[in-house]
Structure 1
Amino acid sequence: MDTPIIRLIEKKDNPQIAKVIRTVLEDFNAPKVGTAYADKSLDCMFETYQKPKAAYFVVEENNKIIGGAGVAKLDNYEGNVCELQKMYFLPEAHGRGVGAQMMEFCLAKAHEFGFEKIYLETMEYMTHAKKLYKQAGFENIECAMGNTGHYSCPMHMLKTL
């Protein structure tokens, strides 16, 4: 088994990363509306992140995408805050430190882009993700920031960079 590689998304990755994200959300029985599942950007992730101060990374192993995550300016929010976006991993990536490594990539990129804070939204029952976010220094906050359209994600977290 090859070591997973974390790299910037390429156009050819679009179908695979869309399938990864939908598969993970289905495995969690997450709502299909008000979550990343319904995002129009899901099928054109490469194009979505071709803008200033935005980056999306994929995890590739044996020519297969097994996860991904990105950062971009928080939608509909005044302030120098970015969002950790679409961080999902297939089961074969779990328990191998891939999430922590991806988190390092995303935080470094957010810092490089000059953001002051990084925000995320998640589900209460995504326990592994929540543990990873806490270890990275994210703290729970009371209400949503900006307007991501993910109204089915009740947990909001923030970290100062």
Structure 2
Amino acid sequence: MSNNNIVIREIISEDNIQIAKVIRDVLIEFGVPKVGTAYADVSLDKMAETYNGKKSVYFVIDNDGKIIGGAGIAPLDNYEGNVCELQKMYFLPEARGVGLGKRMMETCLKRAKNFGFEKCYLETMPYMVDAKKLYAKVGFESLDKPMGNTGHYSCNVWMIKEL
């Protein structure tokens, strides 16, 4: 896949249907439970509106009009402190292994820092091996227990990074 037509940009409402399908397709591909994960989030069908608040943003990977991935930053739910959460980072197979994950992480973490967050938290699944490698490579460290209460009780890998 050529990176010539690929842009990482903020989500717009016209992207909602495509990014919801991307996220659900990836979750199904990896056999993730539909309950207790992003699959069941009510926000999935209205991502542009969900990430239109203060100190939150969602980026999509646009390949000449086709959304092939995305990730967002928002304050960590139910947590006292200046911590954001990296949320809903999912890529279709064609977006993997070509450096887009690293670019997306840089984009999200830069915006988190610009928002003034001190740390970034994330949750994932143990079998999302490539994602965990990427997170570790950019400085995320494992935690023994979750922070806040995201409602994603099926996600049992927790990581944090100083910004």
Structure 1 CA distance, aligned partners of 2:6 and 2:78? Answer: 34
Aligned counterpart for 2:28 among listed residues 19, 26, 32: 26
Give the partner amino acid of 1:111: K
Residue of structure 2 equivalent to 1:94: 96
Residue of structure 2 equivalent to 1:10: 12
Structure 1 residue ranges without an equivalent (≥5):
none
The two structures have a TM-score, normalised by structure 2, of 0.97
The number of residue pairs the alignment matches comes to 161
Matches within 5 A, 1:101-140: 101-140=103-142
Once the 2 structures are TM-superposed, how far is the Cα of residue 4 of structure 1 from its aligned partner? Answer: 1.3
Moved beyond 2 Å, runs of 4+:
none
CA RMSD of aligned residues (A): 0.6
| Aligned partner of residue 127 in structure 2, secondary structure | coil
Give the partner amino acid of 2:99: G
| Aligned partner of residue 156 in structure 1, secondary structure | strand
Aligned counterpart for 1:36 among listed residues 27, 35, 38: 38
Structure 2 CA distance, aligned partners of 1:31 and 1:6? Answer: 28
Identity of aligned residues (%): 65
| Aligned partner of residue 69 in structure 2, secondary structure | strand
Residue 46, structure 1, aligned to residue 76, structure 2: no
| Aligned partner of residue 134 in structure 1, secondary structure | helix
